[in-house]
Amino acid sequence: MLPKMQAKAPLPERAAAKPKRAGRPPGRHPDETRERILDVAEELFANNGYDGTSLRDVARSADLQTAAIGYHYRTKEELFDTVIRRRAAVMTEWRKRMLAEMRQRHGDAAIPLDALVRAYVQPFYESASHGDAGWRHYAALMGRLANSPLGTSVIARHYDATARDYIDEFLRSLPSVPRPAVIDGFTFMVASMLALCADTGRAQQLSGIRGDERPLDEPFSNLVTFLVSGFMALPAEPSKRGRPARTGRHPPLTSP
C-alpha cells in the first residue's frame, strides 16, 4: 500500500484588503508554506518544464510574493532539487525496504527476476496511479527529466545509489549476462515504467477502452511480464577471447 503522506492543514483565508508581504507570510507555519510552495512548483515543473517555470510563476500560483519564495529557497535550482528530493526519499525508502526483505527471505540464493522487477517498479506505479494529484505531477515530471540533460545529474543524485543496489541483484539473478547488458535492461525497465505512469491517454486511444473499464493493476501486471521476459532474453556473456578489458567505469544512470 502507498505510504500515507502527512495531512496538510487547510490554508487560512487572506484578508482581501491587506497587500502581500515579502518573507514568511504571517499566520502560516513555515512548514505549511514550504509544502505549498513545493506542491505548486511540482505541478508547474511537470507541466512547463524547468526552463519554462520561473520563481515568479511559482509565487503567483502560490499566491505569494517572489521574495517569499526566496525566503525558503534561495534559487530556482534549490527549489527544483527539493521538489525532486521530497518524493525521491519516499521512493528510496520503499525500495530499500523491499530489497532488504527479499534479501532476508532468499538468503544466499538469487532473488527471482519477477520479484526484483516488482520491487523496483511497484512503488512508483502505486504512487502515480493510487496516490494524490501531487504524485501524478511527480510522475509526469520524472518522465520529462529522464529525457533531458538536466535530469541526468538530478536523478543520479537522488536515485542512483538505490539503482545500483538493485542492479547488483539483477546481476546475481542473471549471472551469464554482462553488466552493460543488465544496465541496458534496467534502463529499458525505467523507461517503460515512466511511460506507463505518465497517463497520457495514448493506450486508451489505441485500444478504445477507457482506463476505468480495466482492472487498475492489469497494466502493471502486463508490464512485469513484459520486463521479466526482456531481462531473460538479454544476451549471455560473450567469449572472453578478443573482448576489450573492462575499465571499471559505469555508464551514467537515469533512474527515478
pLDDT at 220: 92
* 30-72 is a CATH 3.40.50.1220 domain: no
Per-residue CA distances from 207 to 199, 201, 204, 210, 232 (Å): 14, 10, 5, 8, 28
Residue with C-alpha cell 513545493? 38
Beta carbons within 10 angstroms of residue 147's beta carbon: 11
Q: How confident is the model at residue 197 (pLDDT cuts 50, 70, 90)?
A: confident
Cell, residue 44: 508547474
The lowest-confidence range among 20-24, 122-126, 190-194 is 20-24
CA angle 85, 91, 93 (to 5 degrees): 100
pTM: 0.77
Q: Where do the domains of the chain lie?
A: 30-72, 87-232
pLDDT-derived band of residue 110, with 50, 70 and 90 as boundaries? very high
What region, left, alpha or beta, does residue 20 occupy, with left being phi > 0 and alpha being psi -120 to 50 degrees?
beta
**Least confident range of 102-106, 214-218, 227-231, 250-254:** 250-254
Q: What fold is seen in the domain 87-232? A: Tetracycline Repressor; domain 2 (1.10.357)
In whole angstroms, give the CA distance from residue 256 to residue 248: 23
Whether the pLDDT of residue 5 is over 90: the answer is: no
Per-residue pLDDT at 244 exceeds 50:
no
pLDDT band at residue 2, thresholds of 50, 70 and 90? very low
What does the angle CA 191 – CA 210 – CA 143 come to, to the nearest 5 degrees? 20
- pLDDT for the residue numbered 129: 84
Instruction: Kindly list the distances between the CA atom of residue 47 and the CA atoms of 70, 101, 209, in Å, as whole numbers in the listed order.
Output: 22, 36, 26
Residue 160 reports pLDDT greater than 70: yes
Lowest mean pLDDT among 104-113, 199-208, 216-225: 199-208
Q: Calculate what percentage of the chain has a pLDDT beyond 90.
A: 61
Q: Residue 247: is its pLDDT beyond 80?
A: no
- Residue 37 is predicted with a pLDDT of 97
- Is the Cβ–Cβ distance between 43 and 137 less than 8 Å? yes
The pLDDT of residue 172 is above 50: yes
SS3 content of the chain, % helix, strand, coil (to 5): 65, 0, 35
Range name among 12-16, 26-30, 67-71, 210-214 with the lowest pLDDT average: 12-16
End-to-end CA distance of the chain: 19
How far is Cα 125 from Cα 71, in angstroms, rounded to an integer? Answer: 34
Angle (nearest 5°) at CA 148 between 231 and 204: 60
> Does residue 250 have a pLDDT over 50?
no
